[in-house]
Amino acid sequence: MNPLYSPTAERADNRCEYCHAPELVFNDLFKVEHIVPVSHGGSDNTDNLALACRSCNKYKADFQTGTDPDTQTTTRLFHPRQDEWSQHFRYEEEIGEVQGRTPVGRATSDRLQMNRAAQIAARRLWMQLDLFP
């Protein structure tokens, strides 16, 4: 386990800092993710670390940018330490989607594939369990 897992998970309230998935319903710990990837010079400092579910961690990979599907422009991804989640994303509870409010939110949602069918199905179950949002 990453030695910084506990403080990172506590700071994140055991939720993915990108899609807000609740760690409680998973059978493995979430990942301590480098916001700026190590391969791009990112450090192990806590201000460069975020808690990420396996899906967001997998699709973010070493990317720092994505494409805003509304404008087809390349933009940076959401930065959990510098950005306010609710400024960039909103829940669409009726359809179970996490939608971007801004170019950063839309590009991040798209890059991290936050609205794949499996994500939406899981989110609907979490809502039934009162674990989401």
The binding site for Zn ion (CB under 5 A) comprises: 16, 18-19, 21, 53, 56
In the complex with Zn ion, the residue whose CB is nearer, 71 or 93, is 93
Whole-angstrom distance, CA of residue 44 vs CA of residue 61 = 16
In the complex with Zn ion, the residue whose CB is nearer, 21 or 104, is 21
CB of 59 to Zn ion, least distance (A): 9
Q: Is 60 exposed, middle or buried (0-12, 13-18, 19+ CB in 10 A)?
A: buried
How many residues in the chain? 133
CB of 21 to Zn ion, least distance (A): 5
Give the phi and the psi of residue 36 in degrees, each rounded to 5.
-95, 115
CB of 55 to Zn ion, least distance (A): 5
Residues in a beta bridge with 50: 33
In the complex with Zn ion, the residue whose CB is nearer, 53 or 122, is 53
